[in-house]
A and B are shown apart, each in its own frame.
With several copies, the nearest count.
Chain A
Amino acid sequence: MAVDKQLALKLLKQMMEIRQFEDKIMELLARNIAEGGSHLYAGMEAVAVGAISVLRPDDYITSTHRGHGHAIAKDGDLKALMAEILGKKTGVCKGKGGSLHLADVSKGNLGANGVVGGSIGMATGAALSVKMRKTNQVVVCFFGDGATNQGIFYESLNIAALWKLPVVYVCENNFYGMSVSVKRASAVEDLSRKALAFDMPAETVNGMDVLAVREAVGRRVEEARNQFQPSLVVANTYRYYGHSRSDPRVYRTREEEKFWKERDPIPNFASRMIEQGVLIEQEVTELEEQVRQSIEEATRYAIDSPWPEPEELYTDLYA
C-alpha cells in the first residue's frame, strides 16, 4: 500500500499524540493531579491508529478500559479528553465518565468501557442498526485478548456471523489480561482460531506496524461495508506500562519488555517513512514538537478547567 506524505503525517501524528498523552497522564497520576485508575495505551498505538484510519467519520467504534488511544484516533479532542480524565466539567462526558468511559457518540465513538467485553454486544447491535438503516456505515469493535474469554464475545460473534453484520472485531492481543498471560488464560494461543467456531474470516496481524494494521483492517472494513461480511482481526502488540498504576509487572520479564520496545510502532514507522523518502527527519522532529505543544495545551486546559457543579450529580440521568 502506497503511503503519501499527508497520510504518513496523519498516522505518525496520531500515534505521537497517543504516546505523549499517555506519558503525560502517567506524570499527572504520579503528581496526584490525575486520580483513580488509568489503563494506558502506550505501545499499542499502531492498532487504534491503523484500524481507525480506514474508517469514515460516521463509522462507529467501540472501545475498552484502555480507551484513550481509540478516542484520540477517532477524532477525539485532546482537551476534552484530558479534561474528562481529570473529571472536569469541560470533559467530553462532563467529567462523569472519566478514563474508563471516554465516549463521543457524535464522532462515532460509542465509548470506552469498564467491563472487559462489555461493549462487544453493543458493537454488534450498532452493526445491526446500520444494516437496518441502510447507511453503509461500518463498526470496528476493539477488545483485548482477555476479553476473548468472556461469554458475550462468543454470543456476539455468532450473531454477527449469522446475521451478516458489518462489524470488524479487532482483538488487541498484548499477551496479557492484567497479569494473566494468554497461555494461562486461553486454550488457544492463536486467538484468531476463536472465529472458527462461527465460520468467520479471521487473521493475525503485526500490531506494532501501523501500515500492516491499516491494510488488514482496511480490507476487512471493505468486506463489511460492501458484503456485510464480519471478521476478526487479531493484532499482536504490547502495552509498555503496567496494567494500571500499581502494577509491579512481576508476571513478565524485562527482556520481553525490551523485545517489544525495540519494535516500537512510532520510531519504526518514522524511520521507514524517512527511508522511503516520504518524510524527512526534520518533519518528524517538528511533528513531535507540535504534538508536545498540543498535549501541553490540553493539559493546561484540563487542569485549569472547573469542576462540575454539585447539581450536576443529578443531571443527565434520564432523557
Chain B
Amino acid sequence: MREISYRQALNEALNEELVRDQTVFIAGEDVAIYGGAYGVTADLWKKYGDERVKDTPISESAIVGVGLGAALTGMRPVVEIMYIDFIPLALEQINNQAAKIRYMFGGKCTVPLTIRTEGGAGRTLGAHHSQSLESWLIHIPGLKVVMPATPYDAKGLLKSSIRDNNPVVFIEHKMLYNSKGPVPEEEYLIPIGQADIKRQGRDVTVITYSRMVLFSLQAAATLEKEGVSVEVVDLRTLLPMDIDTIVASVRKTHRVLIVEEDCKTGGTGAEIGMLIMEHAFDELDAPVKRLAGADVPMPKSPVLEKLAIPDPERICQAIREVLQ
C-alpha cells in the first residue's frame, strides 16, 4: 500500500468530503491562502475558493459560534482552531452551546460540526503552543473527541467526524504531521468510538493515544528484546471511550500502564484508570500506573521540554515497574 504523511492523509480526507457533500466547508485562521499553519488545508483554497475555504479573523470564539450557527441550519462546517492552546477562547461556545444545544432543545436539532485543532509538545514552542487539553473536552457530554495517531486513522476518522451529526473535536498532533504510514487509495471510514490494538501482547497493556502510541510502540519493541510482551491499545477516540476493548485487554494481561502526554492531574489517564477500577478491578494483578506529562506549564527549554513529557525510555521503565 502507498505510504503518505499524516498531513497528506488529513488533506485527502478534507478534499474528499468537500467533493462529496456541498454543505461541507472549511473556515479558520490561515486555512485558505496559507493552507493551514501546518499545511493540512494546502491547495484546497485554490480548488474551492473563498466560498468553501475561508480565512477568518483571529476570533476563536466567533469561529466556533459561526460554525455552530451554520451547522444548525443545514451546513456541515469544518472549523479550525490553530492550536489547542487557543481552544479555551472558544470553550464557552463548545461547552455551553455546541455540545449542549441538541439536548437542551429536546433533541430537535443536530450539530454536524467538526472542530479541527492540534496539540502536543515537541517543538520547544513554550507554554502557549504545547498543551494537550483533551481531558477538558472529554468532560463535555454531547461532544465527541477524536485523537488519531497514524495517517490511516487520521484519514478514516476525519471523514467519519465530518459525517457525524454531532459536534466532534478532532485533535491532531504537531509532531505527527510528517509521520508516514500506509493509506489505501480507495475510500474508507473508521468508526468513531473504536479503539485499536496497535500491537498484541500478553504481559502488560499500555493504553495510550496520539503521539504516545508511537513512543509506546517503540518501548514495546525494546522490551520485546527483554522478553516482555507488551500490548498497545490506541484509544483513537477519547469520547466516547471504548471501554470494551480496554477491559478485554486488561483481562488478557492483568497489568496496565496508561501513557498520556497531557499533564497528569485531572488528565484523561485518570478517567481511563478509574474506568478500569470500576470494570475490571478483580482482573488487576498490580495497580494501574500512569505515565503522564509533568504538572507544569510546558517550559521552552528543549532540555526541560523533553523531561516534561513521556519518552520511549521512560515508558520502558514504567512498564518494568508495572511488571514488578
Asked if A pairs with B, the answer is: yes
Residues of chain A touching chain B, judged by Cβ–Cβ distance below 8 Å, are: 35-37, 60, 62, 84, 87-89, 91-101, 103-106, 110-111, 113-130, 132-133, 146-147, 149-152, 155-156, 158-159, 162-163, 177-180, 184-186, 247, 250-251, 307-308, 310, 312-319
User: Is B30 a contact partner of A122 (Cβ separation < 8 A)?
Assistant: no
Give the distance in Å from the alpha carbon of A126 to the alpha carbon of B66 in the complex: 7
Instruction: Look across to chain A and name the residue whose beta carbon is closest to the beta carbon of B77.
Output: A125
User: How far, in Å, is B75 (CB) from chain A's closest CB?
Assistant: 5
Cβ-defined contact, B106 with A115, below 8 A: no
CA–CA, A159 and B62, complex, Å: 8
Contact A103 B65 (CB under 8 A): no
Task: Determine the distance from Cα of A89 to Cα of B96 in the docked complex, in whole angstroms.
Answer: 22
Complex contact A115–B59 (CB within 8 A):
no
A159-B62, A180-B34, A313-B299 given; 13 more Cβ-contact pairs under 8 Å: A97-B104, A97-B105, A97-B126, A101-B128, A105-B108, A114-B125, A115-B86, A117-B58, A155-B62, A177-B29, A178-B34, A307-B302, A319-B107
Cβ proximity bits B94-111 to A, threshold 8 Å, 1 near / 0 not: 001100011111111111
Q: Which one of B220-228, B276-284, B303-311 contacts A?
A: B303-311
Stretch at the interface among B49-57, B154-162, B249-257: B49-57
Residue from A127, A163, A317 in contact with B102 in the complex, judged by beta carbons closer than 8 Å:
A317
**What are 30 residue pairs bridging A and B, where the CB atoms are less than 8 Å apart in the complex?**
A36-B125, A36-B126, A36-B300, A37-B125, A87-B300, A97-B126, A99-B300, A100-B128, A101-B128, A105-B109, A111-B101, A114-B85, A115-B128, A116-B58, A118-B93, A118-B96, A121-B61, A121-B62, A121-B69, A121-B93, A121-B97, A122-B72, A127-B69, A151-B61, A178-B30, A307-B301, A310-B304, A312-B304, A313-B299, A317-B297
- The answer to whether A93 touches B105 (Cβ under 8 A) is yes
Our pick among B23, B69, B294 for the contact of A313 (Cβ within 8 Å) is B294
Q: Is the CB of B33 within 8 A of A98?
A: no
The answer to whether residues A125 and B68 also contact, given A93-B104, A114-B125, A155-B61 and a CB cut-off of 8 A, is yes
Bound state CA distance, A131 and B110, in angstroms?
Answer: 20
Size bin of chain B's contact surface: 35 or more
In the assembly, what is the distance between CA of A315 and CA of B299, in Å? 11
Complex-state Cα separation, A133 to B59, whole angstroms: 24
Shortest CB-to-CB span from B144 to chain A, Å, is 8
By a CB distance below 8 angstroms, the chain A residues around B61 are 121, 151-152, 155
Cβ contact of B105, chosen from A89, A101, A125, A150, cutoff 8 A: A101
Q: Assess whether B55 is in contact with A184, with CB atoms less than 8 Å apart.
A: yes
The answer to the question of B151 belonging to the interface, with a C-beta cut-off of 8 Å to chain A, is no
Contacts of B69 in A (CB 8 A): 62, 110, 121-129
Chain B residues within 8 Å of A314, by CB: 294, 296
Task: Report yes or no: A35 in contact with B74, Cβ–Cβ below 8 A.
Answer: no
Cβ–Cβ contact A91 & B68, under 8 A: no
Question: Bound state CA distance, A173 and B109, in angstroms?
Answer: 30
- The proximity string for B residues 23-47 relative to A, scoring 1 for CB distances below 8 Å and 0 otherwise, is 1010001100110010000000000
In the assembly, what is the distance between CA of A97 and CA of B296, in Å? 12
Q: B196-212 CB contact bits vs A (8 Å, 1 = yes)? A: 00000000000000000
Please state if B102 and A319 are interface contacts (CB–CB under 8 Å): yes
CB pair B128 A114 closer than 8 Å: yes
- Asked whether A118 lies within 8 Å of B301 as measured between CB atoms, the reply is no
Within the complex, what minimum Cβ distance (angstroms) separates B31 from chain A? 10
A36 to B95, CA, bound (A): 22
What chain A residues lie within 8 Å of B124 (beta carbons)?
35-36, 87, 98
The interface residues of chain A lying within 8 Å CB-to-CB of B59 are 149-151, 155, 158-159
Interface centre among B25, B124, B303 (most CB of A within 10 A): B303
Give min CB distance, B71 to chain A, whole Å. 8
